[in-house]
Structure 1
Amino acid sequence: MPLPVACCCSGRVESTAVIPMHASGAAAASGLQEPLVAHGLYKHRPLVPSSDAAFLLEAKKLLTHSVLFATAERAYIFEIMGGSMWMRYAPHNMMILVQLSYTLMYFVTEDAFNRGLNPYVYVTYRHLLVALLLCPFAYFHEKKLRPKMTLMLFLEIFVLSLLGVSLTLNMYFASLKYTSPTFVTAMANTVASITFAIAIVLRMEIVDVKSPRGLAKVAGTAVSFAGVTTMTFYKGAAIASPWKAPIHIHGSNAVHGSWVKGSLLAVASCVCWSIWYIMQAGSVERYPAELSLTAWMATVGGIQSAAFTVLLQHRKEDWLVGFGLNFWCIIYSGIACSGFAVFAQLWCTEKKGPVFVTMFNPVSTIMVAILAYFICGENLYVGSIIGGGVVILGMYMLLWGKDKDQEYNASSSKELQGSDLDWEKQAKMADVSSVQNDSQPETKTMT
């Protein structure tokens, strides 16, 4: 029987290598030589040992070497497959982490507001903190990637900071002071529908209502909005928490005043937020340094918010937060929400588009309801359970439509490239035939 051994090492094996082996036993008596077939990952010069024992020892070494190479190759292939799988679902995982950061922020911020923290001062401090942390790192990390700053680009960043930081967040957190975390998180889910509608008007989003993927996007947005409406306006029977709440939010049972005012502020902030998501898509293309763009928005937005606070709030005591819960609320919100979350949203917007980013907003609504029930001891209502399930259904319907759109666009681009190549081949063949016809001598008929 031929002995399989491994050969190493200068290149890939294209075919089976055969190494002559000294005859032994019956084969030697008959004058025949049994070939040694070398199966391996890498080819080597034919091995001709001086004796059978030395040959077997060398073959054992090569076989061990081949096993190591095969293991390394399988690990490399697994690493490549795992890396591609991670890159495919990295935007999904990033957006889930963003929503988790926002969920924790809602509870901490509500407690801080009930303890006297001014919403305008909160927005100002949290973004100035992010600017202080990100600016040095972004300056050195993206020094070669960052484009040259122009007046038009600065004006675009100014408007982007106004819509995404100072104006929007000041209205949003003012509405949180007047309403509740459940309400503002539910209202934030309307950003997906508003963004989707604006994207269609601006022709940034293509909807083919005759295809299943187009219907899924439209139906998913409508279903998600219906689920949010159910959670907001239909409570149903209450399901009391079976144990005592481990965390009690100060003033969480107090009746919020100016509910209409808070609702209007929440709606206005959602409209501004939708425009901000739309602007991100073009801004990231013109300013591809996401970390530097995040630092710019935090800096400009913090300065804008400070100007708003000076105009609207005239008490010096509002600027003193101390080192208690209010201080740590600003630290957490600045690093987790204004830093990581904004950077992750910019990155996901570049990879998947603005509608993909906004469709993850319902996740925070579900998380708020769950944490309010299990951690804060609040009642969980049947309407929240039904609405949460409907929201998740609508979100994944739209995400399915978005994924199918990407597959369709990728296949269409490949077909277009193939047709272009065929057209070029036909054009070249036509040129060659015309040249050949021109080069042939003209035949004159003799009369």
Structure 2
Amino acid sequence: MGSSENLNKAKPYVAMVLLQFGYAGMFIIIMVSLKRGMNHYVLVVYRNIIAAVVVAPFAFFFERKVRPKMTMSIFLKIMALGLLEPVLDQNFYYVGSKCTSASFSAAMFNILPAVTFVLAIIFRMEKIKIKNVRSQAKIIGTTVTIAGAMVMAMYKGPALDLFHTGGQPHHDSSSSGGGPQETNYLEGTLLLLVSSVCWSAFFVLQSHTLETYPVALSLTAWICFMGAVEGGVVALVMEHEASAWTIHWDARIVAAIYSGVVCSGITYYVQGIMLKERGPVFVTAFNPLCLVIVAILSSFILKEEITLGRVIGAIIIIIGLYAIIWGKSKDHIVSPLLEDDKKGDLVLPVVAATESAKPPSSNNYANGGGGGGGGRVAVTDTPVTITSS
């Protein structure tokens, strides 16, 4: 029995760790496909079409009896979700990655928990008390995480050949502007920051949507479908060359299939379940693991260099991140009957004594009535609220 309980407790953590391995593979594969000429607008469309085609049958069969009625409010939220992550986040991320590197892009996404935390406060999904230690840890962690991202963006430093792979600086010759590499890195950093904000907003809105549309598979299929439609409109406006839509059997088709199945279909579904159980801050709290995996793989596969500035910035981000995680973990173990803002109320039925309308008689004593006037005991439906102190 104990092992079963431990397994259930470990499931959310195992799921989120596996997702980070999935994301790490995506960072590498996407970078290879972009370097080989894959158009990022087209990649977004293909990625979400594949995800929708894969997820939709499962959503239809497994949730057909529990799927709530589609309303205009829910549909508008789905449209917003399809725009935030499949279109805005993915396109900004792909362009930012082309201007920087796979490891840098993965590192920048470590600010996701901090950005999500700020948005959760704005939309009242997180409560802050300045005098509370947990709240102080969240605030300090958010500040430190953002500071680490700024260090990574502003300070490069000498190259570190940590894994003895002879990594070389990544620079995409197709980057627009033709300026110095530092300019491209600054532009890429800003785009990655915007991408992070879009992704964090997606988590917050997805968590809110699941409250009124609590079918994770169906919501995933709808998001991917709307992402493909909206992304297709953007691609047709931005890309006029018909050749850009041609995909050969190389890293580009692998990128579309892998990112569609793993990083859109499976990820949206698993994240939806975790959002319902733990909230958006928990879902975004495992990104440092992805950074480590990508840093190792990109050094071997892409021959990217790791600089001192990125290492220092990543360490600062991780420190701030785990301050946030500590605050959230303490929130999670608080008893639901003893919350911060209000103590839990226990509602019990009332045992009320009612007086008999008739004067006392000897029959009252014979029937069990008290000597004080034949009192009867009646259980009423009126609740009594016992507030714990």
User: Under TM normalisation by the shorter chain, which class is it?
Assistant: 0.7 to 0.9
Partner residue of 2:221?
Answer: 295
Which residues of structure 2 form unaligned runs of 5+?
Answer: 178-183, 362-371, 373-389
- Give the Å deviation of 1:131: 0.9
Question: 2:319 aligned to 365, 383, 393, which one?
Answer: 393
Partner residue of 2:68?
Answer: 147
Partner residue of 1:202?
Answer: 123
- Give the Å deviation of 1:331: 1.1
Distance 1:320 1:353 in 2: 40
Q: Residues 361, 345 of structure 1: CA spacing in aligned structure 2 closer, same or farther, 3 A cutoff?
A: same
- Give the Å deviation of 1:124: 0.4
Question: 2:87 aligned to 166, 175, 181, which one?
Answer: 166
TM-score, scaled to structure 1: 0.72
1:85 correspondence with 2:11: no
Question: 1:329 aligned to 236, 255, 280, which one?
Answer: 255
- Give the Å deviation of 1:119: 0.2
**What number of residue pairs does the alignment pair up?**
352
Q: Residues 200, 370 of structure 1: CA spacing in aligned structure 2 closer, same or farther, 3 A cutoff?
A: same
Distance 1:378 1:267 in 2: 21
Matches for 1:34-183 after TM superposition, within 5 Å: 77=1, 81-183=2-104
- Give the Å deviation of 1:169: 1.4
Secondary structure in 2 matching 1:189? helix
Amino acid in the other structure paired with 1:416: G
CA RMSD of aligned residues (A): 2.7
Q: Residues 348, 266 of structure 1: CA spacing in aligned structure 2 closer, same or farther, 3 A cutoff?
A: same
Secondary structure in 2 matching 1:378? coil
- Give the Å deviation of 1:334: 1.0
Amino acid in the other structure paired with 2:18: L
- Give the Å deviation of 1:385: 3.4
- Give the Å deviation of 1:184: 2.6
Partner residue of 1:211?
Answer: 132
Q: Which moved more, 1:358-367 or 1:107-116?
A: 358-367
Q: Which moved more, 1:182-191 or 1:158-167?
A: 182-191
- Give the Å deviation of 1:415: 6.2
Secondary structure in 1 matching 2:334? helix
Which residues of structure 1 form unaligned runs of 5+?
Answer: 1-76
Partner residue of 1:279?
Answer: 205
Q: Which moved more, 1:219-228 or 1:339-348?
A: 219-228
Q: Are the counterparts in 2 of residues 111 and 252 from structure 1 also a CA contact under 8 Å? A: no
Q: Which moved more, 1:315-324 or 1:382-391?
A: 382-391
Q: Residues 244, 194 of structure 1: CA spacing in aligned structure 2 closer, same or farther, 3 A cutoff?
A: closer
Question: 2:106 aligned to 185, 199, 210, which one?
Answer: 185
Question: 1:227 aligned to 139, 143, 148, which one?
Answer: 148
- Give the Å deviation of 1:135: 0.9
Q: Are the counterparts in 2 of residues 240 and 378 from structure 1 also a CA contact under 8 Å? A: no
Q: Which moved more, 1:229-238 or 1:332-341?
A: 229-238
Query: Which structure has the larger Rg?
Result: 1
Amino acid in the other structure paired with 2:344: L
- Deviations along 1:140-161, one digit per CA (max 9) or x if unpaired, are 0111121122232222211111
- Deviations along 1:249-295, one digit per CA (max 9) or x if unpaired, are 9x945464452543443333222222211111111111111011101
Distance 1:254 1:147 in 2: 47
Distance 1:306 1:140 in 2: 27
Secondary structure in 1 matching 2:336? helix
Question: 1:347 aligned to 263, 268, 273, which one?
Answer: 273
Question: 1:416 aligned to 344, 347, 368, which one?
Answer: 344
TM-score, scaled to structure 2: 0.82
Q: Which moved more, 1:361-370 or 1:147-156?
A: 361-370
Which of the pair has the greater relative contact order for Cα pairs under 8 Å at 6+ separation?
2
